Amino acid sequence: MSTITLFGLGAMGKALAAKYIEKGYTTTIWNRTPSRATPLVEKGGKLAITVADGLAASDLIILCLLDNDSVRQTLDQATPALKGKTIINLTNGTPSQARETSEWVISQGAEYIHGGIMAVPDMIGSPHAVLLYSGSSAEAFSRVETHLNHLGTSKFLDTDPGSASLHDLALLSGMYGLFSGFFHATALVKSQPGTTASGFMQLLTPWLGAMTHYLGALAKQIDEGDYATQGSNMAMQVAGVGNIVRASEEVGVTAEFILPILGRMKRAAEGGYADADVSAVIEFMKEEK
Ligand code: FVH
């Protein structure tokens, strides 16, 4: 199988298609707005005008569209042409959307694997681009794995089609948490005249690196359900985070990014974990608590 069809030529879809063209695949490309395909056609991509043509051109189909609705709107245009195909859906969505799409695609006589791309377009093809996959048939994944490996490091998680989405969104949540901290910390420091964001990175980057190592210890406490403090108890940290909020207010920086964690830490402290490590917050992550 050295033929492949790519649906979606946004920033990421273009990078995926370009990689297969570079690797010598007969690469068919489809996009809702066909004019976006021109640069790839010039490199050797074959433009499919209809969804049915795109599906007919290859047994291995990759979708990388904006969202779940765009996937369904696209595939609905040529449902009978799905039969016998292996559909790799790299479109961001929720686990339940992935499970639902999987069920529907399989009911059309095709294989379905959902994927989550942990990379930006420039990283596609490098081992640092990690692509998470899950789908009800591990054999279907094995059959196409060598083709998927051209995009980066492939990791098949398990046979729940929703797993790749769940892990993708969880990793993105970690990233956005980091971004929140970056923006708040940088805004605080920049309230002092003469400071620069770039200069502050000399302190922030190594500090976050050190704290990243600490996550392993917190994870172990969570897995063992043993939150005994290693030296930084919750009540002390609640007081410290309260000072971040006050200092933000003093310099006119929003405390919005830090207030949610402070709220959960206070609940944990009031809920019997004042002497525990911050890892006990995990006990207070459910909506109802
Ligand atoms: N770019 C990134 O850094 C991230 C990295 C991690 C993975 N994400 C996900 O990849 C999906 C596509 O992202 P993208 O960056 O390629 O997104 P855009 O450049 O905005 O392109 C969107 C494509 O989707 C097409 N599209 C939108 N709506 C529809 C629809 N109703 N029917 C059919 N196609 C649709 C759009 O077509 P057009 O506007 O050119 O006609 C683009 O091809 C995404 O899930 C990320 O979360 C990327």
- Distance separating alpha carbons of residues 64 and 16, to the nearest angstrom: 9
Q: Which helix (H) or strand (E) holds 60?
A: strand 60-63
Candidates 66, 75, 92, 172: which one to mutate for ligand 1, based on the most atoms within 8 Å of Cβ? 66
The answer, yes or no, to whether residue 289 has pLDDT greater than 90, is no
Q: Ligand 1: which atom is nearest the Cα of residue 118?
A: 6
Cα dist from 241 to 70, 145, 236, whole Å: 42, 46, 9
What pLDDT is attached to residue 230? Answer: 84
Q: Provide, for the chain, the percentages of residues in helix, strand and coil under a 3-state DSSP scheme, each rounded to the nearest 5.
A: 60, 15, 30
Q: Separation of 252 CA from ligand 1 center, angstroms?
A: 37
pTM, 2 dp: 0.95
Number of continuous H segments (helices) and E segments (strands) in the chain: 10, 8
> With a 6 A CB cut-off, is 11 part of the ligand 1 pocket?
yes
199-219 pLDDT, tens digit each: 999 999 999 999 999 999 999
pLDDT at 163: 98
The predicted structure's pLDDT at residue 63: 98
pLDDT above 70 as % of the chain: 99
**CB-based burial label for 202 (10 Å; 0-12, 13-18, 19+):** exposed
